């Protein structure tokens, strides 16, 4: 190759080759342009005179690599950081930006294709109550079928305490990536707002609704020691003995407490409230005759009622329960708008992406619509709530909060 000709080498790490070419009086190919010209035909090809040293009039416009460059190309790692990039006036800024952006897009496309699709690992479902309770049992049944539609395992993580606030607060402050969810109840989204003067998070703004899961009907049960067999006899006993009897619940402001408080208000009767650490303890004292009555979810009460240890006097619902079809509802008994049921729903941290929330909602609803899961839930005495969109779930949360917060505050129940 003659002195003054432009070297047509397509290399990116040719520092040594470049030095040799310059000493030999050869032009040095711009590596970025050389790489681009192979992809884009209208890019100025390497080896043209504009690549030669200033003042060169070489006619060798399409010269091939020099001997130095041929050896360098074979041994070079072609790493861009070692490139010697020479921009010349013959390449316009517009062309450089256009082809440079296109080349960058080609280089980045494998990374874009490799972006993970949600979910790509197990999802944690936080139950803010103890293992073995109604909420925990139902959550596990739902999770087993839900994970089949979601495509990843759903792991139950029990974080009980403070009426469900500890677990809910944990989720509200978790990373909003869709891998930490809350399996909450009416206590988390309504009752606790009225019960606690100050919460460490805002249930209605720091948590994004995913979907409704089940409604949990409750039954009014009395101690066999009272000697009453129906609702009319029970209410008459309370009216004849104002303040004599007591009832138990899982604590101040719990759903059981509020249900009983509202019952007394609607029937014009009086009874003392005895708070317990859990509703199971209250039920045990009803069985023992230490307190007179209380309410219980159907799953927790079914076996005890069948064994004669508890006497059911009413289903606190608007329609009869599948588990107790013979038991009259409070609406049938004259207590209108007394739907003191509990419910379960799923929520995520507020910063969770909309696409992830939509994926969670659709997969949850698909699971709840399966006949097999519906049957399992109904056997537990709960009613599946399938088909709720995220927007409908948010509306449900708000309506329940508007309904129960004034009742909780009117009851005088406070924790802090």
Residue 192 pLDDT grade (very low, low, confident, very high; cuts 50, 70, 90): very high
Mean pLDDT over each residue of the chain, to the nearest integer: 80
> Using CA atoms, how far apart are residues 90 and 76, in angstroms rounded to an integer?
28
Give residue-wise pLDDT tens across range 347-360: 999 999 999 999 99
Give the tens place of pLDDT for each residue, 268-294: 999 999 998 778 899 999 999 999 999
pLDDT at residue number 318: 80
Q: What percent of the chain has pLDDT over 70?
A: 72
What is the structure's pLDDT at 105? Answer: 55
- The reported pLDDT for the residue numbered 28 is 47
Structural contact between residues 92 and 27, judged by C-beta atoms closer than 8 angstroms: no
Q: What are phi and psi of 113, to 5 degrees?
A: -70, -25
- Parse the chain into domains and list their residue ranges: 15-113, 123-204+346-411, 218-316
Instruction: Render pLDDT for 57-111 as a digit per residue (tens, 0 to 9).
Output: 444 444 455 544 444 444 443 444 443 334 444 445 555 455 555 555 555 555 4
Q: Residue 34 pLDDT > 80, yes or no?
A: no
Q: What is the pLDDT of residue 414?
A: 74
Confidence check: pLDDT of 220 > 90? yes
Contact 27, 21 (CB under 8 A): yes
CA distances for 125 relative to 23, 167, 179, 191, 398, angstroms: 69, 10, 8, 21, 22
Provide the pLDDT for residue 128. Answer: 93
pLDDT recorded at residue 279? 83
Give yes or no for residue 21 having a pLDDT over 70. no
More confident residue, 54 or 203: 203
Among the residue ranges 49-58, 224-233, 293-302, the one predicted with the least confidence is 49-58
Peptide bond preceding 119 in cis form (omega within 30 of 0): yes
Q: What is the pLDDT of residue 286?
A: 98
Query: Alpha carbon 61 to chain centroid distance?
Result: 63
| Residue 306: pLDDT over 80 | yes
pLDDT attached to residue 217: 87
Report pLDDT digits (tens) over 136-173.
999 999 999 999 999 999 999 999 988 899 999 999 99
Tell me if 123-204+346-411 shares its fold with 218-316: yes
Q: What is the pTM of this model?
A: 0.68
Cα–Cα distance measured from residue 238 to residue 316, given in angstroms and rounded to the nearest whole number? 18
pLDDT at position 410: 82
Cα 133 to Cα 299: distance, rounded to the nearest angstrom: 9
Tell whether domain 218-316 is in CATH 3.30.70.1150.
no
CATH of region 123-204+346-411, choose from 3.40.140.10, 3.60.21.10, 1.20.1260.10, 3.40.190.150: 3.40.190.150
**What is the share, in percent, of the chain residues with pLDDT greater than 90?**
53
- 315-344 core/surface letters (b: 16 or more CB in 10 A; e: else): bbbeebbebbeebebbbebebeebbbbbbb
- Order the strands of the 180-185 sheet from edge to edge: 154-158, 123-127, 180-185, 342-349, 207-216, 383-384
Q: Report pLDDT digits (tens) over 367-402.
A: 999 999 999 998 888 889 999 999 999 999 999 999
More confident residue, 191 or 26: 191
Residue 250: pLDDT band with limits 50, 70, 90: confident
Report the range out of 112-116, 176-180, 187-191 with the highest average pLDDT: 176-180
Is residue 205 within 8 A of residue 350, CB to CB? The reply is: yes
Q: Is the Cα torsion angle 312, 316, 318, 323 positive or negative in sign? A: negative
Q: Measure the CA–CA gap between 11 and 22, rounded to whole angstroms.
A: 15
Q: How many helices (H) and strands (E) does the chain have?
A: 15, 11
336 pLDDT band (50/70/90 cuts)?
confident
Per-residue model confidence as pLDDT tens digits over 358-375: 999 999 999 999 999 999
Give me the pLDDT at residue 148, please.
97
């Amino acid at each position: 190759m003659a002195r003054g000709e432009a070297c047509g080498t397509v290399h990116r790490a040719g520092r040594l080759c470049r030095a040799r070419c310059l000493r030999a009086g050869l032009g040095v190919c711009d590596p970025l342009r050389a790489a681009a010209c192979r992809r884009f035909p209208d890019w100025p090809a390497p080896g043209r005179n504009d690549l030669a040293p200033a003042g060169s009039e070489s006619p060798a416009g399409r010269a091939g690599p020099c001997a130095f460059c041929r050896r360098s190309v074979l041994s070079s790692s072609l790493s861009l950081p070692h490139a010697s990039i020479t921009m010349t006036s013959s390449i316009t800024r517009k062309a450089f930006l256009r082809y440079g952006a296109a080349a960058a897009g080609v280089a980045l496309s494998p990374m874009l294709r490799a972006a993970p699709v949600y979910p790509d690992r197990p999802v944690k479902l936080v139950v803010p109550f103890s293992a073995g309770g109604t909420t925990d049992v139902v959550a596990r049944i739902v999770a087993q079928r839900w994970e089949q539609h979601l495509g990843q395992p759903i792991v139950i993580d029990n974080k009980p305490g403070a009426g469900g606030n500890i677990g809910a607060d944990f989720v509200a402050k978790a990373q909003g990536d869709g891998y930490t969810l809350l399996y909450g109840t009416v206590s988390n989204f309504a009752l606790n707002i009225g019960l606690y003067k100050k919460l460490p998070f805002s249930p209605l703004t720091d948590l994004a609704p995913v979907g409704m899961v089940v409604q949990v009907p409750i039954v009014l049960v009395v101690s066999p020691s009272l000697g009453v067999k129906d609702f009319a006899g029970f209410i008459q006993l309370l009216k004849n003995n104002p303040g004599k009897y007591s009832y138990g619940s899982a604590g101040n402001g719990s759903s059981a407490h509020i249900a009983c408080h509202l019952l007394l208000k609607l029937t014009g009767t009086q009874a003392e409230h005895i708070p317990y650490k859990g509703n199971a303890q209250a039920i045990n004292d009803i069985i023992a005759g230490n307190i007179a009555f209380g309410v219980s979810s159907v799953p927790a009460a079914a076996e005890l009622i069948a064994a004669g240890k508890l006497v059911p006097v009413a289903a606190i619902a608007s329609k009869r329960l599948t588990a107790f079809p013979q038991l009259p509802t409070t609406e049938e008994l004259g207590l209108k708008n007394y739907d003191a049921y509990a419910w379960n729903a799923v929520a995520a941290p507020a910063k969770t992406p909309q696409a992830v929330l939509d994926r969670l909602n659709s997969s949850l609803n698909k699971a709840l619509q399966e006949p097999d899961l519906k049957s399992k839930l109904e056997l537990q005495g709960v009613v599946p709530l399938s088909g709720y969109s995220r927007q409908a779930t948010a509306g449900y949360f708000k309506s329940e909060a508007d309904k129960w917060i004034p009742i909780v505050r009117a009851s005088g129940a406070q924790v802090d």
